[in-house]
Structure 1
Amino acid sequence: MHSNRASSLMDHLFVDNLTVIDFAYLHATRGLVGESWIVDVVLGGELDEQGMVFDFSNVKRTIKQVIDERVDHRLVIPRDYPGLNRQADTPDTFTWQLTDGSHIDHSSPDEAVVWLPAEKVVPSAVARLLEDELKAVLPGNVTSVEINLREEEIEGAYYHYVHGLKKHLGNCQRIAHGHRSPIRIDRNGYRDYRLESRWAKLWQDVYVGTEEDVARRFVGDDGSTYITFEYEANQGEFALTLPEQRVYMIDTDSTVEFIAAHIADTLKVEFPEDQIRVKAFEGVGKGAIACR
């Protein structure tokens, strides 16, 4: 990314696995996609009076804070996508046209979204946005910033899901934030790869919706059935309309604890005589376990 001769002569500091950003983004065919990217950072520049490019103790306080506040738990929207229709008077209310003829509508406070100067969301475009943000806040001796965004290497099944938690006091209350999550299912003490793959396919690019948040169901002009979710949280009012086929409904909130319990309960009905253990992840390295 920064491979010119001047850059190669600089001193560099690197921090791998600095943080994980869990977010959602919009895609032309996949629709609303949950994602989790691990963040690696390389800073280049001249050594300061301490003999450092940047004090490690400040890396998380400064760099991690900027990255988390800018993208984490937000909806990233590529503003140059030709199928994006924004309302001039309320720019964070928009319609996203999908290639299958259906659409997604979204409305939220400004801090819940990120407008990406690109036609589609890819790691390099998001990295450039973060690099520009960091250059504005880092000391003058730091002359280059390189962000690498990567997915966790997962052995086994995983899915991309999006949800909103209106009762959450933090940023999870945003109606469209997401994760890329592995799942482990044990049946009678043995890992069941077939069941893991089944749930990963069922929840591929899905929105996990809560019945309590449903404002209406209707048939659109395109003939598709839609579900609108609406709620008010302490950050403001949120609304999201999705094609029903892209939604998985549950009776509870969609915390990872409830998700693990829902999967375990569903499997227990299917296999009432078996011992079921579900380890459902929420992004990288965290989640919930339910045993039935």
Structure 2
Amino acid sequence: MTRSDDAAVKRTEKWLERLDRFVDQHGHAAVPQLFEDEFGHRLGRWVKRMRRRYRSGHLEASSIAALEARPGWLWHASKQNRATRADGSIAPSENPLAHMASLLAFATCHGHTAVPYNSQEPDHSGLGDWVRRQRAHYRAGDLSSRRIALLEAVPHWSWEQTPRPSPWYETYEVLLQWVSDHGTADLSRRVVAPSGQRVGEWVQAQRQRQRRGRLAPERFQLLEQLPGWCWDASWKNDTFSERLAELEAHAREHGLDEPLPPQLRRWIDRRVLDYKRGLLSDERFAALEALEWWRWARPSRSNSAFREQQTALEHWLESER
């Protein structure tokens, strides 16, 4: 026996020892094709290789006898064997489409298909394990073309085992957790998540991107479906009617020549800006238009000062005549 033959025999003995440990734990040698032991040894892949060599007639008689001596050994991976769980236990036959609806709902809600392996969401129980197995079967070449097409039709689908969501989706997940804890996406700009992410500032940035037309449609939909979400933060406390009443009261009491208080002047400026950006509702537009003295383009302070100086000059000239 050559040195290489001796090394091959020793390798086979090592694998047979690992197979025996599997048999001791599970009571059978029907190792699932994707099984790895606690040390990371891919026992399922080795078993598959032995079956392939047996079918091609290249497996030694001693190895055939050793494998067939193990209880529950299978030379052909049956449907039952393909459905064996990763921990080695035999799983019941499953409907291949059982989790497709849950996967579609998860992708729509979260914007990715990186389903956690141990996801505890009530509507997605077992989804993480199922998704992991679909990707593993795909790498092993065991998925039908129909199943591949169905999975690839799911939005954001990736064949990577643990695709990392983009930073946008990572922060969106933080916002989802905030909504789950507080029941609303109405949060202050100063809010910082326990992980340290400035989720409040991120929310404000999304509103700015939307106003500039730079927010992707799918992200717009993900945000708009959140309870309490509002694209204009100045509307979230809905003080429009209160400010309008204050403005009308000021006009009645002091007239239009009296300077406006700073808070009312800023409020008017924001409403004019909302109008220019197309963010003002029809109802609020009509309420402002009903004011006889309302103007959407207010004169600048420099123009007002110029007119005041011009009027004073005219009065002086008239008095000198």
Could you tell me the TM-score, scaled by structure 2's length? 0.22
Higher helix share: 2
**Structure with the larger strand share:** 1
The structure whose RCO (Cα within 8 Å, separation 6+) is larger is 1
Scaled by the length of structure 1, what TM-score is found? 0.23
**Larger Rg over CA atoms:** 2
